[in-house]
Structure 1
Amino acid sequence: MNFCKIISLLSVCAILPAYAQSPGGINSGLVIWMKAETGWTAATWTNQSTTPLFAGISQLNVGGTTAPAKINNAGFNFNDAIQFTAGAGNVTGIAYSTTNTYSTTNFYGGSTAATKNVTYFGVSNSANFDLFSNFWSNMTTGQCGANRCNSGFRTNSVQFGNATQAIVYPATSRNNIGVGRRVSSTNRSSFINGIETNSTASDTFNDQGNYAFSIGYWPVFFANYAIPEILWYNRNLSNVEINRVNSYLALKYGTTLTQTTAQNYTAGDGTTVYWDNPSANVGGAFIYNIFGIGRDDASGLHQRISNSANNSGTTTTSGSYLTISTNNNFTASNTSANHTDISANNNYLMISDNGGALNTYSTAISGIPNIQRSNRIWQAQKTGSAIGCVYYQFNSITNPTANQRYYLIAADNPTFTTNVSIKEISVSGGTATIQVNQNAGTSNYFTIGLWDNTNIADVADTPFGIDLTKTSGWKPTSKNGYMQINSVGKSLVLTRVASTAAITSPIEGMLIFDTSDNTTKVYNGTAWRALGIIFNRFCN
């Protein structure tokens, strides 16, 4: 290659655009992207969009005494949020707002009032999204009236000018994902955790006066909760695109995309599905409390620690019962300094469960005697091989008595009969931690088992021993006795059989050597199991 060609190639590389990260990989039309972890100061919040409507948004103070503050790991799945604190009656406070310098053409797409369109997103652990983010007019007369031709989130609704679309928030969740979308004057939608409510009623689009954009404020009220992230697109996103953005937000903030209508979790590349609804419905409905860790470079997301945001305050439905992390740290925020990075893009580990009651152990597992499993079963769906050993921490486990032991039981199927692994877990203060190898097995289902001998009667003294002396009446007794056989150069030979079928009436504890496959086997009361062959899913 000659010098001129080299210079030509370098010139082409120099003008190629930089790779743009965006929520769910959806960059077209993104005019506002406010993230708590990037670009925030108390005075100014910087817009992270590559095509921003404004560079940043400044602080607005109306009699406020407490400025917004960044909080870490406070209910947003170990990620940052900005805490807003309003004064009495929410009529004073400090928030963020532009001046009234915009028209609807700045934040809506479409060429006419009838076809103007927009899509906006928010994540909130408040009872509703009131005052979350809004465009509002300086006009309070005419068609605008007291509503100020508002577009954005208000109490239990999303708004588009004077048109209101109801949105209902589930009572047993936090970190809800709300979406408002206007396609046309007869097509508006609200979404909550991915479930759409649509309206075809005709609206009258209002475009009067000049508009300001505010976060945590709407004249004349202030928010009194935390806000982690805000997204506005000046076009109507398709349902497929909304799913990709929702997947990004759900993975980041531990939100369960509601499965009353089947929804997958889709990566920012638009093709990788890292939680699959059909797979979650094999052998049961493992569609509750969905959360996970993963790396999505197209979205700029690297989630290293996670639990489900679902929490109704009871252990039977709480998703935060289980936390997973790339290292043995379950308190620090989601940063590279605090947790081990995931080494490659598009690698994910997603956890969901069957919604069964926690701390209730009532189901026996075939082949594992004297242990009852929890009614709660979890399913792990893994994408890629970069996530190997992961730490699991179970919370709010009932502390064991002296006669109880807890075990983590994992298998390739939800009935726990294929490639079963079992390991005792130590519970202290209601918490147990164990490291699991996610690269072991084709599928992963796991649960907690309880061994409890509280109601098992003590074994009475029984004759025990081998008598070679022919002493009359020699019958020693012993509790918990054992037999020792010593030899200098000989070994013990177990009963050799052609197959387990040769033992027509096996009893629990029986040992044989099966010559059909040259393995030593023990009968556990229900099945013969080979000794020394263990399918190990546990690290260390």
Structure 2
Amino acid sequence: MKRNVQVVAVALASAMLACFGARAQTPGGVAPAVWYRADAPGSVFSDAGSTAASDNATVQQWNEAQGSGRNLLQSTASARPVFSNSSSLANFNPTVTFDGSNDFLQFTAGTGVNLIDRTNGSIYAAGSMKALKQSGFAGFHASMDYPGLHVFGSNNKLLFFTGGPGYQGLSGASLTAGMFFTAGSGWQNGAGTNASYAAATVSLNGTRTEYSGSELYNANLSTGARDFRIGADNNYGAFSGQLNEVMVFEDKLTADQMDRLETYLAIKYGTTYANGARDYKNSAGNVVWSATTNAGLQNNIAGIGRDDNGALHQKQSWSTNPGRQVLIGTGALAGSNAGNAAGLNNGQFLIWGDNGLAKTPNVAIAGIGGISHRFAAIWKVQNSGNVGTVRVAWEKGFLNLSLIQSADASIDASDVVTGMAANEVTINGVVYNYADVTLGNGQYFTFAAKVASPGGVFTDLRVWLKSENGFTPAEWRDHSGNANHYTQGNANRQPFTAAASYNFNPIIDFGTTGADARFMVVPAGKPYSANGTNSSVFTINLQSRELPLV
């Protein structure tokens, strides 16, 4: 239900926009009632609205991005979340992190003030999970129950709650620790089984669950439930993780509006929209990634794009799904999206997805000088608006790393090969190899390298750990091409490079016993492809120099 307020002001603003030929930028071209963006210039403050928050500063005030004055506040210093624009980013965009203990921000509605009337509406948030725990993260009233978005304690699903009956407004899939997400729900009072029940659409990363029976009571319309809060409620618990963008809409969004909004959020934050089962749409409703055309390449979808009406200008991007992902951007890559000086033209999109296979050079390929194997993973591109030269980057670590571009999914020596090993760029402390190329619409690409092996023995090699290359206390990188990297997140149990050496090569020190014992963890389900596999283990044991496992 639309509010019939400030008609004169709205009409005047519309006339002014028409005179100047301007259009307001809204997420995906869908106008919110309130919109909180961590990346909006001059919107996040470490005090009461005069000092812009710097990296790792706490947030006292988060201004509504459209200038409504309906700002989120926290007067208690110990309950403030933390802002970052460099040290902790979401697909190279700024973040606001809540500690899972007591952090929250709130807009407290004055007399006669409503963000929306709550007869119908939609709430959306984009962020990431840190610790899995039941919590509320965006909603009306201190409880976030009238209505609001929660993490349900028993199964970690997204819960849209209106006060009952029970806890039935759940997403189909669950949230997981470390997961980046877009989450939202739209509701319409009286559209359920009868006038006492609401209909709702609950969406987690674009996968939607519909409710239209007696699962959800109508949203509470009392004046005591007009405040809007993010980060923690007063009964279900405090959210642990990032909330980087939060929006409230006056109406229950249509399917087309959700498509455009969730495309905007997916591209901006690197999440895969609807597991690749839905088309990505720009603010005009035009398809910029076709689920049908790109079937089979729907994994780890990410993209860059500019949509002025849709408030999007993502200049570099990767999938924020788990594992190493390809990084693609305009011009010289930077530490943040804002720091990338090379932009796109309005209407340009470059979106890619992969086949879901291993992102390691484990498929033999012949006929390319200096190359022995390619990645099993193959990517496909949809290029809208003639995006030109882009920089394609992969983390340094492979010998003779190269990019292969193909007109089809059959990768061989007849395809275009571009060397990457001579080109290096450091992004946020990580060194990448890169190639500057044009990725045409419908084109496929993958990476290839020269895979060395101990003594030339490559067949069935599972793990090859080398002390002189690829070791840090947190991760010992596998050189077999199988990405069986060994890790240790507990600093007290991490091995280290010893002061001594063995025949001028580094020694990795695993300590002694008891409290001094150090170890690293084998990747889950690896290194073998099946239980009971016969194997041979070769080591040099002083304190372990290198460790090939076949």
TM-score by length of 1: 0.66
Deviation at 1:155, TM superposition (A): 1.9
Deviation at 1:274, TM superposition (A): 1.4
Q: Of 107, 121, 124, which aligns to 1:98? A: 107
Does the Cα contact within 8 Å between 1:411 and 1:420 map onto a contact in 2? yes
Partner of 1:160: 162
Distance 1:250 1:390 in 2: 20
Partner of 1:65: 78
Gap change, CA 1:199 and 1:128, over 3 Å in 2: farther
1:82 aligns with 2:81: no
Deviation at 1:162, TM superposition (A): 3.1
Does the Cα contact within 8 Å between 1:100 and 1:210 map onto a contact in 2? no
Does the Cα contact within 8 Å between 2:361 and 2:451 map onto a contact in 1? no
Deviation at 1:15, TM superposition (A): 5.0
1:190 aligns with 2:202: yes
Does the Cα contact within 8 Å between 1:256 and 1:288 map onto a contact in 2? yes
RMSD: 3.3
1:477-516 mapped onto 2 (5 Å cutoff): none
1:422 aligns with 2:423: no
Partner of 2:288: 274
Partner of 2:526: none
Gap change, CA 1:179 and 1:419, over 3 Å in 2: farther
Gap change, CA 1:445 and 1:136, over 3 Å in 2: same
Distance 2:137 2:393 in 1: 33
Gap change, CA 1:197 and 1:396, over 3 Å in 2: farther
Partner of 2:382: 381
Aligned residues: 399
Partner of 2:50: none
Does the Cα contact within 8 Å between 1:150 and 1:160 map onto a contact in 2? yes
Unaligned runs of 5+ in 1: 1-10, 110-115, 138-146, 312-317, 458-540
Deviation at 1:130, TM superposition (A): 3.0
Partner of 2:304: 293
Partner of 1:25: 29
Distance 1:408 1:231 in 2: 39
Does the Cα contact within 8 Å between 1:360 and 1:375 map onto a contact in 2? yes
Deviation at 1:229, TM superposition (A): 0.3
Q: Percent identity?
A: 21
Distance 2:115 2:16 in 1: 33
Does the Cα contact within 8 Å between 2:401 and 2:433 map onto a contact in 1? no
Does the Cα contact within 8 Å between 2:420 and 2:435 map onto a contact in 1? no
Gap change, CA 1:180 and 1:364, over 3 Å in 2: same
Distance 1:368 1:277 in 2: 36
Gap change, CA 1:235 and 1:431, over 3 Å in 2: same
AA paired with 2:116?
Answer: F
1:68-147 mapped onto 2 (5 Å cutoff): 68-73=81-86, 74-85=88-99, 90=101, 92-93=102-103, 95-99=104-108, 101=110, 106-108=115-117, 116-126=119-129, 127=132, 130-136=135-141
Deviation at 1:81, TM superposition (A): 1.4
1:59-113 per-position Cα deviation (integer Å, ceiling 9, x unaligned) = 242xx53633320252410101122336xxx2x44x321335478975245xxxx
Unaligned runs of 5+ in 2: 1-14, 47-59, 153-158, 193-198, 458-550
What SS class does the counterpart of residue 78 from structure 2 fall into? coil
Gap change, CA 1:149 and 1:348, over 3 Å in 2: closer
1:401-416 mapped onto 2 (5 Å cutoff): 405-416=400-411
What SS class does the counterpart of residue 245 from structure 1 fall into? helix
1:1-12 mapped onto 2 (5 Å cutoff): none
What SS class does the counterpart of residue 202 from structure 2 fall into? strand
Does the Cα contact within 8 Å between 2:34 and 2:115 map onto a contact in 1? no
TM-score by length of 2: 0.65
Does the Cα contact within 8 Å between 1:193 and 1:258 map onto a contact in 2? yes
Partner of 1:47: 64
Gap change, CA 1:180 and 1:66, over 3 Å in 2: closer
Does the Cα contact within 8 Å between 2:17 and 2:23 map onto a contact in 1? no
- Indicate the structure (1 or 2) with the bigger Cα radius of gyration: 1
